[in-house]
Structure 1
Amino acid sequence: MIKEQFIRNLGIMTEEEIQKLHRTTIAIAGCGCIGGFSAGLLARMGIGTFILADPDVFDVSNINRQCAATHHTVGQKKVDALKNHLLSINPYLEIICYANGVNEENAEAFVNEADYVIDAIDYFAFPEAVSLHRATRKKNLFVTTAVALGFGTSVLTFSPHGVKLEEYIGLPEDISIKDLKGQTFPPAGYSQSLPAYATEDKLTEWLSNGTIPTISVGQALGPGVLVSQLVLHVLGRKKPPIVPESYQMQFE
């Protein structure tokens, strides 16, 4: 029987599809912007189990765009704050937390019980993202990621049998995680056309300062597209664009 809070999902999804989502486990690496909003949407869609990872805590500067970031959660571990937020949506959720984040040592354990993986790892933690992608390929899982581009977004889904993350951005496939230290995902890899306010000079300046400007709408658009594609894929209705193809939405 469908719980009352999911009754309005009926009609768009069948009872069998809602039950399938309840039996689905989503691993989300990164509990801030993309990860937090994605988790909230998935919880309202009826996903039953989450595996969350993030080593960071919320600070005041996160409040402009991150799902569980409020003045009440400043100083809290992101995994704990997001877990509490999700349980306030559905107290019957099963949630496993990795409070030290995802890394080369634990990535395989992190995805071991997952059905689908979301890569929402911080932009400047690229070695950890590569570790996550390598673990998903070993487990034969799809991994999807999104980036906020000001007033827009791009969403990329990697198949375990398709183009690898390393290959996509032009790195040797056998490069060691140690040798990736200081490496970042090139912005051009997210989008064929960056917004006018993100010029090459601006990007270079932002990256050198270690802070990329970002606002709430892009961080909401990305998860909206990502979760739609993920759920339709899980339900067997429609396969998302697979890298090297991607989905982009941009408002200037």
Structure 2
Amino acid sequence: MRPEFDYSAAFSRNIGWVTEAEQQTLRSRRIAIAGMGGVGGVHLLTLARFGIGAFSIADFDRFDIVNFNRQAGAMMSTLGEPKVEALARMARDINPLVDLRCFPEGVGEDSLDAFLEDVDLYVDGLDFFAFAARRAVFAACHRRGIPAVTAAPLGMGAAVLVFAPDSMSFEDYFGLEGCDEDEMALRFLLGLSPGMLQRAYLADPSRVDLAARKGPSTIAACQLCAGITAVEALKLLLGRGKVFKAPWGYQFDAYQNRLKRTWRPGGHRNPLQRIGLWLGRMQLQRMKQEALKHGKS
């Protein structure tokens, strides 16, 4: 006979790094996560083990075999299964008392209000190229005063930005309004990681194709993102510890054993960002020309 679940016992080893009162605070909080793939799925499971008591999760996709290298819910037993269903089951296996609101159609303008209802924190788990959905969610969080964290798995590291009611907004920082898809990709990538630490050890540059919306990824980066995001979530939800908010950001790269903190006042308008974007546009143009030369597009 299985023993009954006991919340206090299940998360008792958190006590010491958080107080018992703080653990109960975490239990009473709701986090919204859009995207249950590479980072979103492991965000959910990591935060569930922190004892967060409620989640709103969204994803319209199903697991495919190409997800196996990095996505927490991708296994032979879940092939073809909706990601939201698989991750919800895994979260309930950690904490049967967790309050889950599932959005299997993903997040859109018609579901944003319900998705963000009673939410204390938003964690970005959307696909890198899901710009329309990402902009809509971050704008809604800004209007509602909900802090939001995005952690990008880049190479074998993580690049982190925190947007809060008293910081720059997502749109002010990245400046994606009126941009085409290529420009959005460049601005998002360079805004996340001005230091571009991951570039130094890329083994096969041909696998990075912003124009085709493709790029390599690793589970190491996804897990680093989840650990870092969980700590930022803890600080934001408990109101203690230093949080570096946009236009501050930071990137940790495990391969290079480097931590780089960045400050970009003005966001995309910053002179250093403008130079980086100009160089990025030149590189993207060269990549397109190479692709045409080899018959890839």
Question: TM-score scaled by structure 1?
Answer: 0.91
Partner letter of residue 6 of structure 1?
F
Measured on the aligned residues, the alpha-carbon RMSD in Å equals: 2.1
Aligned to 2:195: 193
Q: Bigger relative contact order, structure 1 or 2, given CA contacts below 8 A and separation 6+?
A: 1
Please tell me whether residue 215 in structure 1 is matched to residue 218 in structure 2. Answer: yes
User: Offset at 1:148?
Assistant: 0.8
Aligned to 1:71: 76
User: Offset at 1:109?
Assistant: 2.3
Distance 1:97 1:217, change over 3 A: same
Compare CA radii of gyration and give the structure with the larger one: 2
User: Offset at 1:204?
Assistant: 9.2
The percentage of counterpart residues that share the same residue type is 35
Distance in 2, Cα, partners of 1:210 & 1:159: 29
User: Offset at 1:52?
Assistant: 0.2
Q: Which runs of 5+ in 1 are unaligned?
A: none
Q: Which runs of 5+ in 2 are unaligned?
A: 1-5, 257-297
Aligned to 1:240: 243
Distance in 2, Cα, partners of 1:203 & 1:232: 39
Distance in 1, Cα, partners of 2:138 & 2:13: 35
* Local SS of the residue matching 1:12: coil
Aligned with 2:152 (options 147, 153, 160): 147
Distance in 1, Cα, partners of 2:206 & 2:22: 42
The worse-fitting range, judged by mean Cα deviation, of 156-165 and 128-137 is: 156-165
Contact 2:207–2:214 under 8 Å retained in 1:
no
Partner letter of residue 187 of structure 1?
L
- 1:18-53 per-position Cα deviation (integer Å, ceiling 9, x unaligned): 100010000001111211111111111110001000
Where do 1:1-252 residues align within 5 Å? 3-172=8-177, 183-184=184-185, 186-194=188-196, 195=198, 196-198=200-202, 202=205, 205-250=208-253, 251-252=255-256
Distance in 2, Cα, partners of 1:59 & 1:90: 26
Aligned to 2:264: none
User: Offset at 1:198?
Assistant: 4.8
Distance in 1, Cα, partners of 2:250 & 2:241: 14
Question: TM-score scaled by structure 2?
Answer: 0.77
- 1:174-212 per-position Cα deviation (integer Å, ceiling 9, x unaligned): x6xxx877743531111122221459x948952122221
